[in-house]
Amino acid sequence: GENVEQHPSTLSVQEGDSAVIKCTYSDSASNYFPWYKQELGKRPQLIIDIRSNVGEKKDQRIAVTLNKTAKHFSLHITETQPEDSAVYFCAATPKAAGNKLTFGGGTRVLVKP
């Protein structure tokens, strides 16, 4: 089955700086890669996703890049703000698995004012 590794597990950045979180996956058939944000005590919410036919996707201050050859994808947050502080999860799903997601272990991001 699919295995997703996520790094770093914690990330502290100064407000205004950029944050980068990296994930690697094992199943070359995976074709959908979402990123979820989970604030303390709340439900995970999708913030951006990318499919395997695209190398990069942007949405305002967040972007995701995908390298299919190396089987890794990254989340980039620019101009970080205190409200970006949360736990971020990457995930992957092989096409054959329907909509079943395999999640990474999460990254706790702290944005210091």
Partner 1 sequence: DGGITQSPKYLFRKEGQNVTLSCEQNLNHDAMYWYRQDPGQGLRLIYYSQIVNDFQKGDIAEGYSVSREKKESFPLTVTSAQKNPTAFYLCASSTRQENEQFFGPGTRLTVL
Residues that bind partner 1 in the complex, under the rule CB under 8 A: 1, 6, 9, 32, 34, 42-46, 49, 89, 93, 98-106, 108
Whether 2 contacts 98, CB under 8 Å: no
* Least Cβ distance, residue 79 to partner 1 (angstroms): 26
Q: How far is Cα 84 from Cα 105, in angstroms, rounded to an integer? A: 18
* Least Cβ distance, residue 14 to partner 1 (angstroms): 23
Choice between 61 and 95, CB closer to partner 1: 95
DSSP assignments along 87-110, one per residue? EEEEEEEEGGGTT--EE---EEEE
Choice between 18 and 45, CB closer to partner 1: 45
Choice between 15 and 100, CB closer to partner 1: 100
Burial of 113 (0-12, 13-18, 19+ CB in 10 A): exposed
* Least Cβ distance, residue 53 to partner 1 (angstroms): 13
